[in-house]
């Protein structure tokens, strides 16, 4: 009998250990799928079945061995084969795990070959087949799994080539390029999984960090268990609207097994493509803001709010500079709850002549609010800022080189929205904002791009909550009245001195009608 060998590298669960990074002092940790998170499988979709199944699978399932992973009809659950084995057992213990695609909740575990069965097989080989009593149990379990998987749809594997070292190489997903690159810096090892369009603009990205956990068997005396991220597999749904990827971790076999973590991305549709074009088109050297913006759009630079009446990028300040173009990366588009507005975050390298000054090679950050109009999508607000090293900002503030920011010359605007921002400053990032995995925040320093409200809250609530004062602000609503933004001058107390910051914050109303922070952009 041909025996099955199932060698599994278990994947890490979301939230284990302390992942580095904050909006104020680190890199992005997680970039969830923008616009919508979960695909609904077409009603006609169903499971595929292996054409040449392994003999052991045939014992369990007969001639209908399901092709896994598979997605539930509501798009919320992923079913896949898994194992607690870390070695080459023949046969291995294995089960079908059904886990939420958004990495929340507890897995449903359907045993196929349990530890006792696998252990007995090591002592008495199953040749040519398992003993009849064991085979009977296996068939019963296979039937239970088959019944549970009714309504699930097999995902379609994406061919991701690997080099001689087993490292994933670039792959094509339609017109998009998929990459998974291992990196290492002073903070540890990271896996950067990205999706770029035909113009090489990164439209989806997740950075998964290595981490340590104290959850381990009592017999393990090696200190904390460490987990190094590695790329697992990639798939698409049958409608080819979504990309699914697994991140696996290398870990000591004595450490505690971890649950699966999935990356789920929506491929850009026509609406997002139109918004992406507008968000990046504003950076073109020949951009005319009048044609890209609403008539009352706000171009925000510090506490200066300009109307869209210039054909030049409004933050190129000096007369001896010539702006020649841009190279964009890390774009995220998020739709409002009612679909009438959207907000984008983008990092970009601007080409400015003469030669960039020292420190100006860091990517600029661009945040925009866009609204749906009768003439199509238009920009309603945008801000461009370049990062300033934290050490420089602190030194300049101590030396009195950062004067207090002048007050806005435009009216304070919507009172309720302004009050929502004031509450963020005084009380911190609330639970509703922390629950938003798509909240992007730019800090004022180089590389400070964070995704996830919970990650932002750790930095903001520790360093800003109750320590900052709003010196001037203006709040404006989108035409829908359900999305709005605040531009504010904020003074942060550092004990013996204060640092003046400019903050651009976007809010969207939740189902209860309350303003919820959805994006933040901080600059010096």
Report percent pLDDT > 70 for the chain: 83
What does pLDDT average to over the chain?
84
Return the pLDDT at 5: 38
**DSSP secondary structure string for all residues of 120-132:** HHHHS---SS--H
pLDDT surpasses 70 at 220: no
Return the pLDDT at 308: 75
Return the pLDDT at 329: 85
Closest by Cα among 137, 5, 138 to 83? 5
List pLDDT tens digits, range 402-457.
888 888 989 999 999 999 999 999 999 999 999 998 899 999 999 899 888 999 99
29 versus 127: the higher-pLDDT residue is 127
**Cα separation of the two ends of the chain:** 69
Confidence of residue 214 (pLDDT cuts 50, 70, 90): confident
Return the pLDDT at 437: 86
Return the pLDDT at 162: 94
19 versus 460: the higher-pLDDT residue is 460
List pLDDT tens digits, range 278-320.
999 888 877 778 889 999 999 998 888 887 765 444 455 445 5
- Please give the Cα distance from 108 to 93 (Å, whole number): 16
- Please give the Cα distance from 456 to 433 (Å, whole number): 9
Residue 353's contacts (CB-CB under 8 Å, 6 or more residues apart) are 321, 322, 323, 324
Angle between helices 132-148 and 115-123 (to 10 degrees): 150
Confidence of residue 50 (pLDDT cuts 50, 70, 90): very high
pLDDT surpasses 80 at 261: yes
- What is the sign, positive or negative, of the torsion defined by CA atoms of 118, 123, 128, 132? negative
Domain range list for the chain? 55-151, 159-262, 270-523
Q: Answer whether 439's CB lies under 8 Å from 459's CB.
A: no
Return the pLDDT at 361: 56
89 versus 342: the higher-pLDDT residue is 342
Return the pLDDT at 45: 62
Torsion of CA 123, 125, 131, 134, to 10 degrees: 60
Looking at residue 413, what DSSP letter applies?
B
Report percent pLDDT > 90 for the chain: 54
Residue 25's contacts (CB-CB under 8 Å, 6 or more residues apart) are 390, 443, 445, 448, 459
List pLDDT tens digits, range 352-367.
665 555 435 568 899 9
What is residue 460's three-state secondary structure?
Answer: helix
Closest by Cα among 436, 412, 426, 408 to 507? 436
48 versus 283: the higher-pLDDT residue is 48
Specify the CATH number of the domain 270-523: 3.10.450.50
């Amino acid at each position: 009998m041909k025996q099955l060998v199932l060698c599994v590298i278990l994947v890490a669960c979301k939230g284990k250990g302390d992942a580095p990074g904050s909006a104020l002092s680190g890199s992005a940790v997680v970039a969830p799928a923008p616009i919508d998170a979960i695909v609904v499988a077409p009603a006609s979709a169903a499971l595929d079945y292996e054409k040449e199944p392994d003999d052991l699978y045939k014992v369990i399932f007969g001639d209908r061995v399901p092709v896994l992973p598979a997605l539930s009809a509501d798009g919320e659950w992923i079913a896949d084969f898994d194992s607690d084995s870390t070695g080459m057992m023949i046969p291995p213990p294995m089960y079908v795990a059904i886990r939420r695609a958004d990495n929340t909740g507890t897995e449903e575990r359907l045993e196929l070959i349990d530890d006792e069965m696998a252990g007995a097989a090591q002592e008495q080989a199953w040749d040519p087949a398992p003993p009849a009593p064991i085979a009977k149990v296996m068939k019963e379990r296979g039937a239970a799994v088959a019944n549970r998987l009714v309504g699930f749809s097999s995902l379609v594997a994406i061919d991701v080539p690997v080099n001689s070292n087993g490292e994933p190489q670039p792959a094509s997903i339609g017109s998009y390029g998929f990459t998974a690159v291992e990196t290492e810096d002073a903070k540890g090892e990271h896996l950067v999984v990205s999706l770029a369009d035909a113009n090489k603009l990164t439209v989806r990205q997740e950075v998964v960090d290595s981490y340590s956990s104290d959850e381990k068997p009592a017999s393990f005396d090696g200190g904390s268990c460490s987990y190094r991220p590695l790329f697992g597999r990639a798939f698409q749904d049958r409608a080819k609207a979504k990309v699914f990827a697994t991140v696996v971790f290398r870990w000591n076999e004595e450490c505690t097994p971890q649950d699966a973590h999935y990356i789920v991305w929506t491929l850009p549709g026509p609406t997002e493509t139109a918004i992406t074009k507008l968000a990046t088109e504003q950076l073109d050297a020949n951009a005319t803001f009048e044609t890209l913006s609403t008539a009352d759009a706000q171009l925000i630079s510090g506490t200066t709010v300009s109307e869209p009446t210039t054909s030049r990028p409004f933050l190129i300040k000096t007369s001896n500079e010539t702006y020649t173009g841009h190279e964009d990366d890390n774009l995220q588009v998020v739709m409002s709850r009612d679909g009438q507005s959207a907000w984008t975050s983008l990092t970009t390298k601007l080409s400015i002549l003469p030669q960039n000054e020292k420190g100006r090679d860091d990517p600029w950050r661009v945040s925009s609010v866009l609204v749906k109009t009768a003439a199509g999508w238009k920009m309603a607000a945008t801000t461009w800022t370049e990062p300033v090293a934290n050490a420089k900002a602190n030194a300049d503030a101590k030396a009195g080189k950062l004067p207090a920011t002048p007050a806005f010359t435009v009216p304070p605007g919507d009172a309720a929205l302004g009050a929502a921002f004031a509450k963020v400053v005084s009380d911190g990032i609330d639970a509703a904002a922390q629950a938003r995995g798509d909240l992007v925040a730019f800090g004022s320093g180089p590389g400070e791009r964070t995704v996830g409200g919970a990650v932002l809250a750790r930095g903001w609530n520790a360093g800003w909550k109750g320590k900052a004062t709003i010196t001037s602000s203006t709040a404006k609503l989108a035409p829908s009245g359900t999305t709005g933004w605040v531009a504010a001058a904020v003074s942060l107390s550092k004990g013996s001195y204060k640092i003046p910051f400019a903050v651009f914050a976007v809010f969207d109303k939740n189902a209860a009608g309350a303003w919820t922070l959805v994006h933040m952009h901080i600059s010096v």
